[in-house]
């Protein structure tokens, strides 16, 4: 939870600039908040929250709501116990933040920054101040991704939930549960619809990729079963004509999966490399069945080939 708070702080930086002085809304379907626990010194588990909502106002005030009833521990009775004893039926946790983010204000599409942030978590009557280091990526003119740069830890004592953790240990007959909780977050923020429609399209700067184009053409043979390079020629997958600098999931005439359409990603060397190495992991829920390229040089070479094709 602490992490999510910091992420909101970073996203606030973008609406503070004159060019982007608009409201931004959290995209819950593309966002993810998770925390880990260790029981009996050796059993590690990952839990998460699916109910996230929030916004960043034009003056840089950020507020995020976590629906505590959406906690998922993968065991129904444990979900119920978390809600009752740890969260004390609080309903929601509130995250608010202000910012001083000069480093983030000038980011162009595809550029990133690592920024320190401060914020406050309000949970069941307890307010906790935090600081964290966050990674910010401007993925398009109308979307920003914020994630934790390093693992962040939340003290159960600071959060006022030690008594609830004690109760969980008693009910499950556990000798111990860790009291320092690691948290990770990936948050997507989109410019509000009306403002997004009016937003100017910024040119996408595409850096030249130093790769072996001839070798990349051979690598592309693995892609040709599903993709063509001719404009508008969709087969199992969409045409890859003009993919460098294009927005993911937006080519006319092809039915994309929701996660890809809503990703806000602009295809450049970095985003393509991440996707080609792990299609399912980089955009969870998309329909692409290819498991990914395992060699970095193959990824670099095929991107160089795609870029060369785009330039004619």
CA dihedral (164, 165, 166, 169) in degrees, to 10, reads: 130
Please give the backbone phi and psi of residue 282, each rounded to the nearest 5 degrees, phi first: -75, -35
- Domain extent listing, the chain: 2-198, 213-310
pLDDT tens digits for range 96-124: 776 544 555 567 888 888 877 777 889 88
Instruction: Classify residue 118 as exposed, middle or buried by CB count within 10 Å of its CB (0-12, 13-18, 19+).
Output: middle
Looking at residues 225-251, what average pLDDT do you find? 89
In this prediction, residue 59 carries a pLDDT of 61
The residue that leads in pLDDT, 32 or 104, is 32
pLDDT tens digits for range 49-60: 999 998 877 666
Rounded CA gap, 200 and 141, in Å?
8
In this prediction, residue 60 carries a pLDDT of 60
pLDDT over 70 at 230, yes or no: yes
Name the band, by pLDDT with cuts 50, 70 and 90, for residue 312: low
In this prediction, residue 43 carries a pLDDT of 93
Flag the least confident range among 41-50, 121-130, 209-218, 237-246: 209-218
Q: What is the CATH number of domain 213-310?
A: 1.10.760.10
Looking at residues 145-174, what average pLDDT do you find? 90
Flag the least confident range among 9-13, 47-51, 66-70: 9-13
**What radius of gyration do the chain's Cα atoms show?**
22
**Residues whose CB is less than 8 angstroms from the CB of residue 68 and which lie 6 or more positions away in sequence, other chains included:** 49, 51, 83, 87, 90, 91, 92, 93
pLDDT tens digits for range 78-98: 999 999 999 999 999 988 776
The packing angle between helices 296-310 and 269-277, to 10°, is 130
Give per-residue burial for 189-223: e unless 16+ CB within 10 Å, then b: bbbeeebeeeeeeeebebeebebbeebbbebbeeb
Give per-residue burial for 19-41: e unless 16+ CB within 10 Å, then b: ebebebebbbebbbbebebebee
Flag the least confident range among 10-14, 43-47, 171-175: 10-14
In this prediction, residue 197 carries a pLDDT of 53
In this prediction, residue 105 carries a pLDDT of 57
H-type helices in 45-140, by residue range? 76-81, 102-105
Rounded CA gap, 261 and 269, in Å?
19
Find out if CATH 3.40.50.2300 is the number for domain 2-198. no
């Amino acid at each position: 939870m602490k992490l999510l708070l910091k992420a909101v702080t970073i996203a606030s930086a973008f609406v503070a600039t004159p060019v982007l002085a608009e409201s931004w809304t959290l995209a819950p379907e593309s966002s993810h908040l998770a925390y880990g626990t260790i029981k009996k010194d050796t059993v590690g588990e990952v839990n998460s929250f699916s109910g996230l909502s929030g916004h960043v106002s034009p003056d840089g005030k950020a507020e995020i709501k976590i629906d505590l009833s959406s906690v998922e521990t993968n065991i129904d009775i444990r979900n119920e116990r978390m809600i009752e004893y740890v969260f004390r039926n609080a309903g929601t946790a509130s995250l608010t933040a202000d910012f001083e983010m000069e480093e983030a204000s000038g980011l162009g599409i595809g550029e990133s920054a690592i920024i320190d942030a401060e914020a406050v978590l309000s949970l069941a009557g307890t307010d906790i101040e935090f600081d964290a280091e966050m990674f910010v990526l401007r993925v398009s003119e109308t979307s920003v991704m914020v994630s934790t740069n390093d693992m962040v830890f939340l003290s159960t004592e600071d959060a006022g939930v030690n008594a609830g953790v004690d109760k969980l240990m008693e009910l499950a007959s556990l000798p111990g549960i860790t009291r320092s909780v690691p948290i990770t977050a990936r948050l997507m923020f989109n410019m509000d619809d009306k403002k997004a429609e009016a937003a100017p399209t910024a040119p996408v700067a595409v850096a030249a990729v130093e790769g072996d184009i001839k070798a990349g053409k051979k690598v592309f043979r693995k892609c040709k079963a599903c993709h063509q390079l001719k404009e508008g020629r969709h087969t199992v997958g969409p045409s890859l004509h003009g993919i460098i600098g294009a927005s993911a999931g937006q080519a006319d005439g092809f039915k994309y999966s929701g996660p890809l359409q809503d990703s806000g990603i602009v295809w450049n060397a970095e985003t393509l490399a991440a996707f080609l190495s792990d299609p399912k992991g980089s955009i969870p829920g998309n329909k692409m069945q290819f498991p990914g390229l395992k060699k970095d040089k193959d990824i670099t070479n095929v991107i160089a080939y795609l870029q060369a094709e785009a330039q004619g």
